[in-house]
Amino acid sequence: MRKLLFLGLVCALSAPLAFARAIPDPHQKHAPGNESPQTPIAQAGYSVGVNYQLQCAGCHLSDGTGSAANDTPRMKGFVGNFLKVPGGREFLVRVPGMSQSALNNAQLADLLNWLMRKDGMAGDSVPADYQPYTAEEVTTLRAKTMLNLPGTRGELIKAMRAQGIAIEDGMNY
């Protein structure tokens, strides 16, 4: 009983010290380089390539090869195939990584158009009749939440297969 009371007293006396560490020091200086607030990505004016690195490369990798081990499809040489099936164009905007990115609508349209370049990520997968995304289109599509990403993607892959498109995205479908 005595030990229990002593333990309770120690806990009660040490709790304020633990909480005190969570209270920031008002006189603490910023780390060098962090003296001013960070500029939001949508206002930073980064190039499209930098926006890809900041918003997409973490999952799809810097070269767009993706990672089947992390359930992330390959975009390189494949992503343009989504534009060949009904609903695919909308899907690319509504994928959570795109629709929830820190980019504004014009930047997101630029990024999608950058991905669709024949000399870029999409390569030969981009359809001949490709029409660039616009900020207005992205604004409209981005407002619609995708509730079933795997199911939606699965249906689009099924439609691609029906057209004879080889599914080479690194996923096991």
* pLDDT tens per residue across span 140-168: 999 998 999 999 999 999 999 999 998 88
> Is 51 part of a structural domain of the chain?
yes
Share of the chain above pLDDT 90, in %: 57
Q: Structurally, how many domains does the chain consist of?
A: 1
Cα(149)–Cα(161) distance, integer angstroms: 18
> Is 30 part of a structural domain of the chain?
no
Cα(102)–Cα(51) distance, integer angstroms: 9
Band of residue 172 on the pLDDT scale cut at 50, 70, 90: low
> Is 12 part of a structural domain of the chain?
no
Q: Looking at this protein, which amino acid is placed at residue 54? A: L
* pLDDT tens per residue across span 62-78: 999 988 888 889 899 99
> Is 19 part of a structural domain of the chain?
no
- Domain of residue 107, CATH code: 1.10.760.10
